[in-house]
Amino acid sequence: MRATLREAHLRGQDVELAFSDGREGLRLPLLWLRDHCPSPGTHHPHTGQRVIDTFSIPAGIAARAVDVEAQGERLRIDWADEDHVSRFPAEFFAGLRADPEVLPVVRRTWDADSIRHELPQVPYAAMLGEEATLREFLEHVERDGFCFVEGVPATPEATRAVAQRIAYVRETIFGGYWDFTANLEHKDTAYTSAAIGPHTDGTYSLDAPGYQMFHCLAAECTGGENVLIDGFASPRSCAATHPRTSSCSPRWRFRGSTSTRAAAST
């Protein structure tokens, strides 16, 4: 069902929109609307990119009138200080209600007891070959913070294929994709079989990692297990058990990423 507008009202420097299906309305600044005008001449004819100069739009831009036309399928704006009319499809505004950065899933918190009954996991072959399985993987990562990929061949090529199925591989100070063995060549305990406590990786970098993937190709030592902790559940548990001290927990914000979440393959 196509989204349509029920009404539009001018509220000072904003336009207030109401949808016919009762979904939550929008209030958008006139400056933003003029900047996003879809009229011919405001976009490159071949690339579709906006060519309007945002800084050429007066800060106090005004509209003579706003109206809903074509049985709610378009918003019309008549601008006050120029001979120009903008017509926006209602579908354009309906699309603004969905955050393009986030899949339509709700994050859930978990602990060892709850997650073991419903481990987030997808099969390797299906993930590489089916869009539905890729979506399932991404939804698990967004909802639970991690997902196992089962049945990945123990080769660097197969591991890289999983990563590239999701997105491009970012370069870091360690390289893009890299494998290693348990040795002290790099003078880093991560390159040993020694246990490492819970931590986030790369938060010392200018642009902290978004997702990380781990794949154990061969294990010829004891130890090396991965321990996953829900970083959202921990402070909630602390608040429930120690309400007087939970408000003292430090808040950290890393440049380039608001949180570090992990994707694991086995």
Half-sphere exposure of 235 (CA within 13 A, CB side): 9
Judged against a pLDDT cut of 50, whether residue 242 lies above it is answered with: yes
Kindly report the length of the chain. Answer: 266
Least Cα distance to 19 among 5, 29, 38, 8 occurs for: 5
Least Cα distance to 79 among 90, 67, 94 occurs for: 67
Domain spanning 112-264: which CATH class is it, in words? alpha beta
Which of 111 and 225 is assigned the larger pLDDT? Answer: 111
* pLDDT above 70: percentage of residues in the chain: 85
Helical (H) or strand (E) element with 193: none
Judged against a pLDDT cut of 70, whether residue 252 lies above it is answered with: no
| Residue entry with tokens 């058990």 | 241
Domain locations in the chain as residue ranges:
5-95, 112-264
pLDDT band, residue 190 (cuts 50/70/90): confident
Question: Which of the listed CATH numbers 3.30.470.10, 3.30.2020.30, 3.40.50.720, 3.40.50.740 matches domain 5-95?
Answer: 3.30.2020.30
Mean local confidence (pLDDT), 131-144: 93
Structure tokens at 33: 């609307």
User: What b-and-e string marks burial along 206-228, b requiring 16 or more CB atoms within 10 Å of the CB?
Assistant: eebbebbbebeeeeeeeeeeeee
Q: Are strands 121-123 and 148-150 parallel, antiparallel or unpaired?
A: parallel
Using one digit for the tens of pLDDT, what is the confidence trace for 69-85?
A: 999 999 999 999 899 99
According to DSSP, the residues that pair with 214 across neighbouring strands are 264
Using one digit for the tens of pLDDT, what is the confidence trace for 20-49?
A: 988 888 999 999 999 999 988 888 888 888
Using one digit for the tens of pLDDT, what is the confidence trace for 49-68?
A: 888 889 999 989 999 999 99
Using one digit for the tens of pLDDT, what is the confidence trace for 192-230?
A: 777 777 887 777 777 777 788 888 888 777 776 788 888
Q: Residue 99 has what pLDDT?
A: 54
pLDDT band, residue 249 (cuts 50/70/90): low
